[in-house]
């Protein structure tokens, strides 16, 4: 894979091969400098990313000796794209990163806003190997550490805003152990955030976690409009705040590309993933609207984060460009993709899988 920038408004075009992390970080910073308008164009919402939380994107070597060369190549592209997207988010210098997750501590029908002052992993990597190739294929797996600080005041404020907007008890604040110990994070939060903070500790930015309700399993299609509305509430709060924000949607795509140890394949899995890629590239609401009729059949865990992201972008008052860094690919039974969202007229980052 290689990375290039697509110039907007006549700006110059730059291309380079995937470099070591330090070089990529410097290159990303240079690109933002060339754009020169990120904070001014986007107000207090600086940018966003859609990142996978699947094991195989985080560690493609898990597929070695178990899958095809094509699957391994796809997983490696996902990892490189995720690292690039994570560097983009980190380079924004946001005061707060808002993360939507489908695999956190969840309420039945409410958004659960994590309210502790500190968060801590680990994520257990290897469960996807067992689910893909049979129980026990991976053994005990391995743990991936992560630490971040939260903003309890913002968690409470956002929950109040969510509930006031719909007067329906749409959100609740979760806190654990009297805030004396870190609130636990697992793979839905740790793995995407490790792309943003490869050291395992989020420095500078605070983390605001929004855990999707368990109703997502069977009612994502019905909930999409509500999530879009709540996203607008989030975007309005960001717009009226003095802090700088970035948004990260943690999601994998259809989990029914082929039969795993729990459920079978679905004929619409591939077309669903293609639609997710189309949305990431165009930010066209109608794509999500059309997907709502069958999203619950193809099992996309974090899809509801996309309508929430869409609403936040709408409420920001800015115009946005989506860039699909890695096309949807399914190394095993579930699909993944990587994308970034930038203010229009900034320098845009694009990854092309070859």
The whole-angstrom separation of Cα 258 and Cα 333 is 5
Q: How confident is the model at residue 34 (pLDDT cuts 50, 70, 90)?
A: very low
| Per-residue model confidence as pLDDT tens digits over 233-264 | 999 999 999 999 999 999 999 999 999 888 89
Confidence band (pLDDT; 50, 70, 90) for 137? confident
User: Which of 27-31, 83-87, 125-129, 310-314 is predicted with the least confidence, judged by mean pLDDT?
Assistant: 27-31
DSSP-based three-state secondary structure for 247: strand
Find how far residue 112's CA is from the centre of its chain.
17
pLDDT of residue 15: 31
- Report, as an integer, the average pLDDT of 135-160: 92
Average confidence (pLDDT) over 165-171? 81
pLDDT tens per residue, range 198-219: 999 999 999 999 999 999 999 9
Tell me the pLDDT tens digit for each residue of 184-201.
Answer: 999 999 999 999 999 999
Q: Using 50, 70 and 90 to split pLDDT, how confident is the model at 346?
A: low
Question: How many other CB atoms are found less than 10 A from the CB of residue 291?
Answer: 24
| Residues in the chain, overall count | 354
Q: Provide the pLDDT for residue 293.
A: 96
Task: State the residue for tokens 């939060």.
Answer: 189
> Confidence class of residue 138 from pLDDT cuts 50, 70 and 90?
confident
Indicate if the pLDDT at residue 32 is higher than 80.
Answer: no
pLDDT of residue 36: 39
pLDDT of residue 70: 97
Residue percentage of the chain with pLDDT more than 70: 85
For the record, the structure tokens of 106 come out as 């969840």
Of 30-39, 40-49, 186-195, 326-335, least confident by mean pLDDT is 30-39
pLDDT tens string 43-72: 499 999 999 999 999 999 999 999 999 999
| DSSP-derived pairing of the beta strands 348-352 and 2-6 | antiparallel
Integer Cα distance of 217 and 303 in angstroms? 10
Q: What is the DSSP string of 290-324?
A: HHTTTHHHHTBTTTTHHHHHHHHHHHTTS-EEEEE
In the structure, how many helices (H) and strands (E) does the chain have? 12, 16
Instruction: Give the containing element (helix H, strand E) for 89.
Output: helix 69-91
Q: What is the pLDDT of residue 33?
A: 42
Q: Which of 169, 297, 153 is nearest to 237 (CA)?
A: 153
Cα–Cα distance between 283 and 306 in angstroms, integer? Answer: 10
């Amino acid at each position: 894979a290689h990375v290039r920038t697509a110039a907007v408004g006549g700006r110059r075009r730059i291309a380079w091969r995937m470099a070591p992390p330090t070089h990529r970080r410097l290159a990303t910073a240079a690109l933002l400098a060339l754009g020169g308008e990120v904070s001014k164009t986007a107000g207090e919402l600086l940018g966003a990313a859609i990142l996978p939380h699947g094991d195989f994107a985080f560690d493609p070597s898990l597929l070695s000796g178990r899958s095809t060369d094509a699957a391994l190549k796809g997983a490696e592209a996902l990892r490189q794209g995720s690292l690039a997207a994570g560097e983009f988010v980190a380079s924004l210098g946001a005061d707060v990163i808002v993360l939507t997750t489908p695999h956190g501590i969840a309420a039945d029908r409410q958004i659960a806003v994590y309210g502790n002052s500190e968060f801590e992993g680990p994520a257990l990597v290897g469960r996807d190997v067992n689910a893909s190739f049979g129980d026990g294929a991976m053994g005990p797996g391995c743990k991936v550490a992560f630490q971040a600080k939260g903003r309890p005041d913002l968690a409470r404020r956002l929950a109040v805003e969510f509930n006031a907007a719909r007067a329906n008890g749409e959100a609740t604040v979760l806190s654990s152990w009297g805030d004396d110990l870190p609130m636990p994070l697992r793979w839905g939060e740790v793995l995407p955030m490790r792309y943003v903070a490869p050291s395992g500790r989020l420095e500078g930015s605070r983390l605001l976690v929004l855990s999707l309700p368990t109703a997502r399993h069977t009612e994502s299609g019905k909930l999409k409009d509500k999530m879009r509305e709540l996203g607008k509430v989030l975007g309005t709060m960001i717009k009226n705040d003095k802090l700088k924000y970035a948004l990260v949607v943690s999601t994998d795509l259809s989990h029914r590309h082929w039969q795993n140890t729990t459920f079978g394949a679905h004929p619409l899995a591939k077309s669903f993933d293609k639609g997710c890629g189309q949305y990431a590239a165009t930010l066209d609401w109608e794509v999500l609207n059309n997907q709502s009729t069958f999203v619950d059949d193809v099992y996309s865990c974090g899809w509801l984060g996309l309508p929430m992201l869409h609403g936040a972008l709408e409420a920001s008052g800015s115009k946005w460009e989506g860039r699909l860094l890695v096309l949807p690919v399914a190394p095993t039974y579930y699909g993944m993709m990587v994308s970034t969202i930038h203010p229009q007229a900034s320098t845009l980052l694009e990854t092309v899988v070859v």
